[in-house]
Chain A
């Protein structure tokens, strides 16, 4: 769908959307070539395909260099296309097992393993709920415990 040059432009834009995170050692979205993910999805989605083509065309016409300022312009001038792009970028980036793992999630399918969440002890729950129990009932009982029709 896109030429190599066009893919490079798209990845440059994605680098701006999700930049590299040095603190967590996470690469930027373009560096991870999330453009390939987006283009693959666009091949099955005519609206997305049109939006991506429109963005690349705009970038080719307007930008010598993809910068945050350019991306802001893109966002202002092509808002619905930009929303498509940002949505697919976030999906592509955060669905990667390597990214999930670095963010503390299960890298792979989350069943059957799940996560270990410590069960509160009875003592802890008792202590936490004690102030609530001390106050007593807080519900209204308009029929005083009687059924209708009884």
Chain B
């Protein structure tokens, strides 16, 4: 079935798809977004149900391989020590993300110049600064101004409570003379524009039934649909098509809600499918002009996959920490060891993020992102009585360096329910990351003891958290040199003039912070550049 052509076709209704749609509204171009999932209704939020936690291990798992919902595609992670996690639906992973909202830092954009690792971005923090600001207002960000780890910027809502857990850890950082700051979060600390403030339910990963969390299903999409953007759900794009005469994209084929294959023509195609989904679709869109995958003359589509490898260290304190109360991953954050210091034995750095602890069930099952149940019997009682209630932990969030062998390819055998090859992840931890993790664990231990921990729980292996591939970056990176990048400095494919990518796949480096704030700022920046260049867009 063929549809009326549109001016702008956006693939994916997540963080970046929504942001770019908002940016392009003022052009009055006809905008259509195709999203493989659907809307989540209020009744579907697990936290409104009695057995809400069980959903975490079933239909609301962060792991699409566990969920196996109709809108999910399988991911082959057999060759990876980290598996990608996501949500497929309106809002994308902003449905189940934990809303931690730090920006990238100026040095993140210049790692080659500063540290001779990675590549420099073709833009920098200050190009994005006005778009961080606009997006923060649109999303509703809460935090404390004055963080000395950043150039100054405004925050419109006061910080969320850091709780006894955050206060305890803060004292530890102060005792060590190390940086820390209350986390910036995309979570409302007060009611705003019809959205309720956070009620500290602690179920951020199960979607926010209160509407306090800045998922694009609450922030951008209601406004976009009222303004006339068409959001066509349960529509999975299988291929982007090219006019072989002009070399321009002219539309897509997609599997519709009716089970049929549809053709949608468009003047401009914008990909917002995340750092795994975007290269997958490009690789599946090969043609005579692009036998190695659409827009892949550089050979870099799918390569340089970066995650943020995570691990954690926990301290046992005298006082109950009530870690199940409050936003899950957001209390305080330290960037003491963020910038490079060669004396540490690795390049770049990491953040120490406080995680509020989880509920008894999730803790007993191994903790969030980990499948490793605690012991049974009397040892179980001992842990649940004398350790669990008194836990405060730190997550070491490491900067991954881009390495070409870390990549997304198409699986030869595994397919989704529409017969589209699944992505296959090939990923190993770099030596730089391993050194960083070791350093981070040691520093975490020191600061937990400085905070008054009576003991620090030993981690007896070198593993990183498995179900923790939240941040998927680098697989279609930006750059000024077409031989070394997939898109230019404003997200336009070097090879296909009317094809844009706006999600985390265009990141050049990963930083050591959650990427969504930067993903959305970048999408708004790209939207702005499209508008500035609209007269000569296809030249």
Contact = CB atoms under 8 A, between A and B. Distances in A.
Contacts of A109: 47-50, 52
A71 B376 CA distance: 10
A139 B177 contact: no
A124 B174 CA distance: 14
Interface string A76-119: 00000001001101110011010110011110111111111111
B201 A110 contact: yes
B373 A87 contact: yes
Q: Is the interface of B mostly helix, strand, loop or mixed?
A: loop
Contact of B123 (A83, A118, A140, A148): A148
Contacts of A97: 50
Contacts of A149: 123, 127, 489
Contacts of B326: 115, 117
A136 B53 CA distance: 43
Nearest to A72: B377
A136 B199 CA distance: 34
Given A95-B361, A112-B210, A140-B107, A24 B385 contact: yes
A138 B114 contact: no
| A119, A129, A135: residue with the most chain B Cβ atoms closer than 10 Å | A129
B149 interface: yes
A110 B203 contact: yes
Interface stretch (A3-11, A13-21, A47-55, A57-65): A13-21
B203 A148 contact: no
A91 B54 contact: yes
B518 to A, nearest CB: 15
Interface string B481-506: 00000000100000000000000000
What is the interface residue range for chain B against chain A?
Answer: 35 or more
A146 B179 CA distance: 25
Nearest to A136: B148
B228 interface: no
A129 B178 CA distance: 11
B163 interface: yes
A92 to B, nearest CB: 9
Interface string B81-125: 000000000000000000000000111011001100000011111
Contacts of A139: 105-107, 148-151, 335, 338-339
Contact of B148 (A16, A100, A135): A135
| A24, A114, A116, A131: residue with the most chain B Cβ atoms closer than 10 Å | A114
Given A91-B57, A142-B113, A143-B124, A112 B377 contact: no
Contacts of A104: 322, 389
A142 B57 CA distance: 44
A104 B324 CA distance: 10
A122 B235 CA distance: 48
B167 A120 contact: yes
Contacts of B466: none
Contact of B210 (A111, A116, A118, A143): A111
A90 B489 CA distance: 50
B381 interface: yes
A22 B465 CA distance: 34
A133 B182 CA distance: 13
Given A95-B361, A117-B325, A138-B179, A86 B51 contact: no
Contacts of B377: 16-17, 19, 68, 71
A141 interface: yes
B376 A116 contact: no
Contacts of A120: 159, 161-162, 167
Interface in B141-170: 144, 146, 148-151, 158-159, 161-163, 167, 170
A20 to B, nearest CB: 9
B317 to A, nearest CB: 16
A150 B325 CA distance: 46
A145 B151 contact: yes
Contacts of B158: 119
A46 interface: no
A23 B389 CA distance: 14
A112 B45 CA distance: 11
A44 B158 CA distance: 47
A110 B127 contact: no
B376 A16 contact: yes
Contacts of B151: 139, 141, 145
A125 B182 contact: yes
Contacts of A124: 167
A109 B170 CA distance: 31
A141 B106 contact: yes
Interface string B180-206: 111000000100000000111111000
B360 interface: yes
Given A95-B54, A120-B167, A149-B127, A114 B199 contact: yes
23 contacts: A16-B377, A17-B376, A19-B378, A71-B376, A91-B53, A104-B322, A106-B201, A108-B50, A109-B49, A109-B50, A111-B201, A115-B200, A115-B325, A117-B325, A117-B326, A119-B189, A125-B144, A138-B335, A139-B339, A142-B113, A145-B151, A148-B124, A149-B489
Given A109-B49, A137-B148, 8 more contacts: A91-B57, A103-B360, A113-B201, A117-B326, A133-B146, A135-B179, A139-B106, A143-B106
